[in-house]
Amino acid sequence: MNKTPTITLYDTTLRDGCQSEDVSLTLDDKLRITQELDTFGVHYIEGGWPGSNPRDEEFFAAVKKLSLKQARIAAFGSTRRVNSTAADDLNIRLLIQAATPVVTIVGKTWDLHVRDDLRISKEANIEVIGDSIAYLKQRVDEVIFDAEHFFDGFKANPSYALECLTAAAQAGADVLVLCDTRGGSMPLDIRAGMQAASQVVEANLGIHCHNDCELAVANSLAGVESGAVQVQGTINGFGERCGNANLCSVIPNLQLKMGYRCVGPQQLKHLPQLSRLVYELANIEPNKRQAYVGASAFAHKGGLHVAAVQKNSETYEHIDPELIGNTQRVLVSDLSGRSNVIYKAKEFGLDVESADPAVKNILNEVKQLEHSGFQYEGAEASFELLMRKALNGTVRHFRLIGFRVIDEKRKEDEPPLSEATIMLEGPDGQIEHTAAQGNGPVNALDQALRKALTKFYPQLESVELHDYKVRVLGAGEGTSATVRVLIESGDETDRWGTVGVSHNVIEASWQALVDSMEFKLQKDTN
């Protein structure tokens, strides 16, 4: 029986990924990501470049205290300086002092770099590569050689690029990683370079691709097809310029499409969670359209699509989303058909048939509301309330009598003061009239609403506002334009989105706030 070939994963999110614009991770962030990568099943975690900055030095000291299950920590650096020896080179010494089981060093394999950057002879560069690796191999368990610009070098001077690889292999490098450092190669270039390398060296080969032509994932897969046994990349494709090969796409492509093994089936289901964690720690909004792990990866909006997916999900889903730990979603919009509404009704636990007149009424109302600016794709709690109202009639837990919001700035050098006063009728007909201050008009209104309602519904104390977004609709109308407000709220167990639309941002915010509270009360009574 043929054994499933294994591809080792080398993650460089903590080093190459941190070279991405707008990405900065604290020491605690890097340690947490390290633990999550290890749990997920990554084989190598590149922690940084010792000596390049204090944070990387702190990481290599702190990571030794973690109890990792399988991942090997790698320190990254470059070959020795030109006019030195490996024994006397400061960067080489710092790599050894990091005391990691793996050291990865990058060296030049493109004669253009040797000539114009290092400004030495090609023979001298060969000596630099061999001396650096041989010295490290005597002192470190595993040495990986990143052949920088290999594919550009191979196109320009094939024999020299391969001579550099041969020198690295003869010096004892355990893995030779062929790098598309500029990210400009095509898959056919990757195949040609990999195949040529495999004919001249017996060492294991790896692939490291950048995404400047939007081909880093495709090129990584081509590299594996051509003999690479290690793939380097980053979570979410973070990296310098246009990024690195996105492991969130590479891994499922290799494992689910091409028959290789990277991680265990249960570990693979945690990939969306790992993706979101890295986005969160980097303080970057997740890409909902990201393949496999994005929130929209298995989302269906068109009525024809939804009708087909309900009969057989294979009609519009290239894999079972559960394999990757994602879920099928059906969106409701003015493009929706009856199938969308029926699907959502079942999701909300509502019993409704396609022939029910309420289904058509819901569709008509959604189309009218979206025409006026509402959008329910990020506000499913508001849509559930709309659907319950259409099917079961209005169930309101309180009634607004009125509110007033005051914004006052008394001095130029002082922040403005915001105060909201609200009057509402509770479930027993009792009138509650209260006020609250906030750091802005919407926050003040939120505080006043909570203050009034918790007298009747103490469980609302647990509701938190996690996100608040305002979108201006209708270009050219300036400050008189309609605005859409999206609010994400949550309690100890759940999160939900609500929406409001108005020419008045306070009124739009009020609509979304009321839906948020109503949804919580509805949820707790179901």
In sequence order, what DSSP letters do the residues of 7-36 get, joined into one string? -EEEE-TTTTGGGSTT----HHHHHHHHHH
Return the SS3 of 498: strand
C-alpha distances in Å from residue 442, one per residue of 115, 415, 435: 62, 15, 13
C-alpha distances in Å from residue 111, one per residue of 122, 261, 443: 7, 36, 61
CATH at residue 436: 3.30.160.270
The answer to whether residues 446 and 489 touch, using CB atoms and an 8 Å cutoff, is no
Strand extents, DSSP E, 49-91: 72-78
At 65 the pLDDT is: 95
Considering 367, 390, 410, which residue would you say is the last residue of a domain?
A: 367
Each of the 526 residues of the chain gets a pLDDT tens digit; together they read: 457 899 999 999 999 999 999 899 999 999 999 999 999 999 999 999 997 778 888 999 999 999 999 999 999 999 999 988 999 999 999 999 999 999 999 999 999 999 999 999 999 999 999 999 999 999 999 999 999 999 999 999 999 999 999 999 999 999 999 999 999 999 999 999 999 999 999 999 999 999 999 999 999 999 999 999 999 999 999 999 999 999 999 999 999 999 999 999 999 999 999 998 998 888 887 898 999 999 889 988 877 887 888 788 889 999 999 999 998 877 665 455 666 677 767 776 777 776 677 777 777 777 777 778 887 767 888 888 888 887 777 667 899 999 999 998 888 888 888 999 999 999 888 999 999 999 899 999 999 999 999 999 999 999 988 888 888 887 566 667 888 999 999 888 888 999 999 999 999 999 999 999 999 998 887 6
Q: Are residues 26 and 87 in the same domain?
A: yes
Strand extents, DSSP E, 383-430: 399-408, 417-425
Q: Are residues 341 and 467 in the same domain?
A: no
Q: Classify residue 374: in a domain, yes or no.
A: no
C-alpha distances in Å from residue 257, one per residue of 72, 80, 517: 27, 41, 44
Domain that holds residue 428: 399-525
Considering 224, 253, 281, which residue would you say is the last residue of a domain?
A: 281
- What is the spatial distance between Cα 514 and Cα 526, in angstroms, rounded to a whole number? 18
Say what the pTM is: 0.74
The residue with tokens 């600016």 is 373
450: closest CA among 439, 440, 429, 435? 435
Q: Which residues pair with 399 in a beta bridge?
A: 425
Q: Are residues 276 and 407 in the same domain?
A: no
Q: Which residues pair with 147 in a beta bridge?
A: 107, 178
